[in-house]
Structure 1
């Protein structure tokens, strides 16, 4: 936020106001023209900015626009000025600006709201000679903009400065309570269209608020950098600290300055920078150079002095957008039955990061250590579902290395763009192609009768109470509580060690009973699935009947869409008395549908690893264990019959054609004789 006092000089050619120098010994910030190539956002360059002017009638909206566009005061200003395109060279950014005037009459309220919702910034006017119009900002206009979901920066402009009574007091004192209550206000400025005082500055600040927004970087309430800004700057510091000694040396500082501003620092300037920081923040400099504390201190000073564009120049040079997120590389388009997996290079990097943040070397990350690992990201991506409790912890509840890598594997499977963004946030040095590999299509795997995937995804179906959640919890080495849980989708990711000493990542995805219809309503819903497990309570005949219905639904969907998957039947709660009818029926159905016989398990007994091995083995042989419904069998018989009929017809046609050809040949021979 920035407040300009009522004192201003007369300008014939509006130009942006000069900025105060923080300290002559601090790093040189480039002039706006020097740093322009990186400061303006690409979107702003392409489409320009739309600034909408609103306020009470008679506050000077139309006169303000005409005075800027025509560089003179309108003797008879129009009631509403048509949309006005400002000259592109009016400000150094050379970004097109369209200024839209509005009417405050009741009959045009809907039009005003529509214009504000389409704006990049709003200029909200009041009349300096009319204190009640200033009061209306907080009592009507700003609440109105909020209620209409207008989420853009607001510039408060006090018009008719030439008519202001000298006894009215200082602008900052008058608007400070309003600015405290409405954080969307970026700047308050007084101007005069009649005398051409600070007219250009009004729209310069509107443009600046869009291109260099303050709110993402600086919290005005506590007067400190935002947590997201700190995370971004910390990552930039780490990337610039090439020798990883925790400080930016003179050479590293100079390289950073050239990258961001195309301007080297002279040795005396570097000494001056470090001296100025050390005076105010002793821990900001050590024997190796400028520390992270000093680096953050410099940017906090930039914010306090209104030099927001300096920090934005740094952020955009490191590819950050206005939400302080790294602009993601485009994700290659893949088929529905393909997935992405981390490469060995990316996994090795993650192992190194894990070891670096495992401060006590106990092979697990404490919550604080995990937060430290993601301290260079906008937020911890695993703080909520589906990642929060999806992986194995050690006996103390801390995240093990296998759990850490399993979470990355799951995030890559479900959201590769987010996975890559977070790799970049934790300072992965490579590009997308070095981090991920695209798996072969599952249809090709079926043809070749094997899969090359290292991450197997298993959909777990079953009625409520059958034991799905208990199975997932057991996979993570946890005891399942008997307390009913919410009916929501869950994931469990872990490593499965096979008999041949190979290791595969297995992801179990629990499908709630109530979600099956919604899942199967989409044609490609089974495309990412490598194997499906159908769980039922072996002591409950009704549980088996529901599981069978689900199996038929999934098998039918696979036959109709071409995304059939290997399926297994899992008879849970084997420690209880089995239902003879459920046992007989499940065996019969598995035989009829061409599947393996049901696998009995009990989560209360040890030795469950074999069920997870069976799941992985089924996925590794994608041409087997695919259930076939009666409709599918009938369709196959029909196709065989049709193919035989076509073969017979083809043979008959060939025979007829051959006989005809022989007759024609014989006739020609007789004629020639």
Structure 2
């Protein structure tokens, strides 16, 4: 495996139409002379204090990307301009004079800390100018720069040059361009001298995609196909043998009877990078769609489907079948659950495990060993699709799904239409869970995913719980519970479309605490009012938690009365501690499946409804009266016509 970037490919693959290099450093270190010597290939006699922008043509370097070089002044009055230029730079060339040790010391005492203070993410090339004037007794460049590079990892490389003698002048800007088009930092950990995890994950995915026969190795044919795809040139048999021989000498497990193994494939790329051939690895990554962050480029995973606020995306049957297959493939011990190590292996071809942090980390049921069941696995994908379809699709691609975005997801019907048709075709329902702090919201979520209330950590942050629910008819639906912290309700309802993604709302109150009921009632009225005002009404249920403890009679009586007044089901008593949940999750799904029922009506809503009914009746009376009048006029005209004809 070998090759260089094709002449016109680097800029396109890196997403760069040009590279902007800014040259900075102490006065008199040779900045302007360096630029002139590069452009004219001779040492200038008279150099201006600051050179105007200098543009090198696209064919100046092999990557065929034009470079614009910006000279700067280090005078105090020009500092704002210098800062602006650095912030607009793709790469920074930082100079010191080989014959002036004080300028070298200023790199770590001023310049590099200043660049860090500006929070620049651009690579830095440290350049020692006036090499011809350096004292022969001075220590080598490696010895001088090693401690500086150790402290400042943003330094891409160091080089010495002489504008007078034309020594390594073009190389300075070649390295600057290379640092932009083929950066080291995303690929390689200089300190550990190894490929970075995200690079390993991307290369592993590429290896698997190229291993057509899935035998765990790249055969000579597969290696050649890989070479042609990435570098548009085949490998000769002797070259393939040479590549495998190099790997086998350094790492015997890198080659087996079937060909180059993943270990050998990764070793080769580490070897290329160590030898400074980063363009080889970058060409491979970019041919397979990766950007400079080693993630798939946005245009490859962007969501082309438009949808209304009350429409969501769900996984298609094709994708669910694919995910079942992936689950079984990585369930090595065939115990019906993915252990954390198996799940990590499944996502080892993605930039990172997308479920390692909130809201996905603890949102689904696990067994005693921490294993995730198939239902929990599919439920997490459903949640990720609901919250972030683009990320869901990207991770489908990372784990090997070959289809297009349009084949992965289906767009649900608008919830408003569901209410009019009095039915829904959805398979995934989202339930907002409201209630005062301490009412039992979190315990309800924990019980849904098989955990004890004691497992719940106090939190004022939003959390999710997702699982499948088996209905009496034997079908299964995915239910997603979203706990809304009490303090977030005002902010949530300030958004007109905040209830659009909600299929059903649950209001939990502590049946032992009258205040808890009053708060749940107020939240119910707020949500109902918001729905009436925005058109995004949602079915609502009241849940009376802690039913195993002493009840508050006032709360029980009033909650029953309020539910009747608002036209919704009477409160559902549950006891999470006794695991007496009164079939609550089936009831939530049932309410979501009948979106025209269980919609609460406030007093203001009733008044508006009665007014509309009265108005409609009045319009009907007017319409009937108008129709009678029209018929009367017509009858009179017929009578008049007959009378005239008879006379």
**TM, length-normalised to structure 1:** 0.91
Greater displacement, 613-622 / 642-651: 642-651
**Structure 1 residue 176 and structure 2 residue 146: aligned?**
yes
Question: Matched residues in 2 for 1:120 and 1:544: separation?
Answer: 60
**1:304 maps onto 2:263 in alignment:** no
**Aligned twin of 1:410:** 383
Distance change in 2, residues 1:654/1:310 (3 Å):
same
Distance 2:167 2:480 in 1: 66
Check if 1:379 corresponds to 2:352: yes
Deviations 1:488-511 (A, max 9, x none): 111110110000000001111111
* Structure 1 residues 611 and 126: alpha-carbon distance in aligned structure 2, compared to 1, 3 A threshold: same
**1:88 alignment partner in structure 2:** 58
1:666 is displaced (CA, Å) by 9.4
Report deviation, 1:441. 1.1
8 Å CA contact retained: 1:40, 1:93: no
CA contact (8 A) 1:39 1:313 kept: no
Of 211-220 and 168-177, more deviation after overlay is shown by: 168-177
1:473 corresponds in structure 2 to: 446
Residue 9 (structure 1) aligns with: none
Aligned residues: CA RMSD:
2.2
For residue 604 of structure 2, the aligned residue among 607, 631, 636 is: 631
User: Is 2:14 the counterpart of 1:29?
Assistant: no
Whole-angstrom distance in 2 between the partners of 1:277 and 1:484? 51
TM-score (norm 2): 0.95
CA deviation vs aligned residue, 1:161-205 (integer Å, no higher than 9, x gap): 232232223222221221121111112122222333322221221
Structure 1 residue 253: Cα displacement: 0.8
In structure 2, distance between residues paired with 1:211 and 1:513:
49
Gaps of 5+ in 1: 1-26
Deviation readout 1:29-70 (Å, 9 max, x if unpaired): 23x4x364256445312xx22211111111111222233334
Q: Deviations over 1:274-315 (max 9, x none)?
A: 122111111011111111111011001101100000000100
Q: Secondary structure at the match of 2:58?
A: coil
SS at match of 1:167: coil
Q: Following the alignment from structure 1 to structure 2, what is the Cα–Cα distance between the partners of residues 58 and 662?
A: 108
C-alpha distance 244-106 of structure 1, shift in aligned 2 (>3 A): same
The answer on 1:151 being equivalent to 2:125 is no
Q: Is the 2:126–2:158 Cα contact (8 Å) retained in structure 1?
A: yes
d(CA) in 1 for partners of 2:340, 2:130? 57
Could you tell me whether the CA contact under 8 Å between 1:531 and 1:619 is conserved in 2? yes
262-271 vs 246-255, which moves further: 262-271
Say which SS state the counterpart of residue 168 (structure 1) adopts: coil
Structure 1 CA distance for aligned equivalents of residues 635 and 457 of structure 2 = 82
Residues 506-585 of structure 1 aligned to structure 2 (within 5 Å): 506-585=479-558
Q: How does 1:326-405 map to 2 (within 5 A)?
A: 326-328=296-298, 329-331=301-303, 332-405=305-378
Q: Is 1:119 aligned to residue 89 of structure 2?
A: yes
Deviation at 1:95, TM superposition (A): 2.1
Structure 1 Cα separation of the partners of residues 420 and 82 of structure 2: 62
**Aligned match for 1:610, one of 583, 586, 594:** 583
CA contact (8 A) 2:446 2:456 kept: no
Q: Deviations over 1:108-157 (max 9, x none)?
A: 22222222112111111111221111111111101110011111100112
Equivalent in the alignment of 1:55: 25
Q: What is the CA distance between 1:335 and its match in structure 2?
A: 1.2
Q: Which of 241, 247, 265 in structure 1 is aligned with 2:211?
A: 241
What is the match of residue 135 of structure 1? Answer: 105
Partner of 1:166, secondary structure, is: coil
Q: Which of these residues, 153, 156, 168, is aligned with residue 198 of structure 1?
A: 168
Alignment match of 1:284 (pick from 246, 254, 258): 254
Cα distance between partner residues in 1 of 2:66 and 2:621: 74
Q: Who is 1:267 aligned against?
A: 237
1:128, 1:158 within 8 Å by CA — same for their partners in 2? yes
Q: Secondary structure at the match of 1:576?
A: coil
Find the aligned partners of 2:14 and 2:271 in 1 and give their Cα distance: 27
Cα separation, partners in 2 of 1:121 and 1:291, compared to 1, 3 Å:
same
Q: Provide, for residues 413-462 of structure 1, a one-character-per-residue CA deviation record: whole Å limited to 9, x for no partner.
A: 11111111111111222221222111111111111111111111100000
Q: CA shift at 1:614, angstroms?
A: 0.3
Given that residues 52 and 70 in structure 2 are in contact (C-alpha distance below 8 angstroms), is that contact kept between their aligned partners in structure 1?
Answer: yes
Q: 2:39 maps to which residue?
A: 69
Aligned residue pairs total 643
Maintained 8 Å contact 2:560/2:571 = yes
Shift of the 652–109 alpha-carbon distance from structure 1 to 2, 3 Å rule, reads farther
Does the 8 A contact of 1:39 with 1:309 survive in 2?
no
Match of 1:74, SS state, is coil
- The answer to whether residue 221 in structure 2 is matched with residue 251 in structure 1 is yes
CA distance in 1, matches of 2:280, 2:60: 21
Structure 2: distance between partners of 1:510 and 1:540: 20
8 A contact 2:446–2:455 mirrored in 1: no
C-alpha distance in 2 between matches for 1:91 and 1:483: 60
Counterpart residue number, 1:421: 394
SS class of match (1:623): coil
For the residues of structure 2 that align with 1:491 and 1:118, how far apart are their CA atoms? 41
Aligned to 2:122, the other structure's residue is in SS state: coil
Equivalent position to 1:590, from 560, 563, 583: 563
Separation in 2 of the partners of 1:93 and 1:414?
41
Where in structure 2 are there 5+ consecutive unaligned residues? Answer: none
Aligned partners of 1:35 and 1:313 also within 8 Å: no
Q: Distance in 2 between matches of 1:322 and 1:639?
A: 59
Counterparts of 1:670 and 1:102, CA distance in 2: 106
Please state how far the C-alpha of 1:74 moved relative to its aligned partner.
3.2
Q: Decide whether the 8 Å contact of 1:38 with 1:316 is kept in 2.
A: no
Instruction: Give the superposition deviation at 1:233.
Output: 0.7
CA distance in 1, matches of 2:627, 2:82: 79
In 1: Cα distance, 2:388 partner to 2:422 partner: 28
- In structure 1, what is the Cα distance between the partners aligned to 2:324 and 2:478? 16
